[in-house]
Structure 1
């Protein structure tokens, strides 16, 4: 594919200066939790950790991708806020957050701003 792209095309493809960052999330819950408790946790997670930080979540109850709710990139501060929120929850035994990565092209290195 050509590397000499117009600004409009770079924006449409979310590349170069329009790269959007997010992170992957892996969760493990306590063994004795029932489905109702997990659903309550996920409701709190979406409302407090995601919407409260302007983030969006795509995935299931144990694995997903976190990205900005609008166009743009997740900041390291937002990632840290989600990590701190998860560490404060008793339902979760482990929470693994990946480093920030390109959400549209995961194999592409992060641009240095």
Structure 2
């Protein structure tokens, strides 16, 4: 019984110590590590494009997508049908950005099966593939 109590105290103390350490991190370090008020949020997008590869239609579609992303001052990275959306310069994307991109993709006749994932931490996850 005593051993169980000691383990319980040690686990709770380590969690308490961890929280105190995070609280004690100076603002400069929180900014460098992108924690708390400096956290950056982004989201994943999966969709299927029903157009032949290496065609002018594909080029036109992706030109429209890039123009839409640029208008909202977003950045994307990934491949043609699965990418991560973030906002540069230490800013976060918003739910409005998610909804706008989802709505835009659903309006495109070339696109089917759109999935826009919830916001997650751009730097520390959790990421959808973990």
Range class of TM-score, shorter chain: 0.7 to 0.9
Partner of 2:67: 47
The answer as to whether partners of 2:47 and 2:113 remain within 8 angstroms in 1 is yes
Q: In the comparison of the two structures, how many residue pairs are matched?
A: 106
Q: Under a length normalisation based on structure 1, what TM-score does the superposition of the two structures give?
A: 0.84
The answer as to whether partners of 1:20 and 1:71 remain within 8 angstroms in 2 is yes
Q: Under a length normalisation based on structure 2, what TM-score does the superposition of the two structures give?
A: 0.74
Write 1 or 2 for the structure with the bigger share of strand. 1
The answer as to whether partners of 1:24 and 1:63 remain within 8 angstroms in 2 is yes
Partner of 2:48: 28
Partner of 2:88: 69
Write 1 or 2 for the structure with the bigger share of helix. 2
The answer as to whether partners of 1:33 and 1:91 remain within 8 angstroms in 2 is no
Partner of 1:59: 78
Partner of 1:84: 103
Partner of 1:99: 118
Please state whether the residue corresponding to 1:35 is helix, strand or coil.
coil
The answer as to whether partners of 2:38 and 2:90 remain within 8 angstroms in 1 is no
Between the aligned partners of 2:58 and 2:113, the Cα distance in structure 1 is 14
Higher RCO structure (Cα 8 Å, ≥6 apart): 1
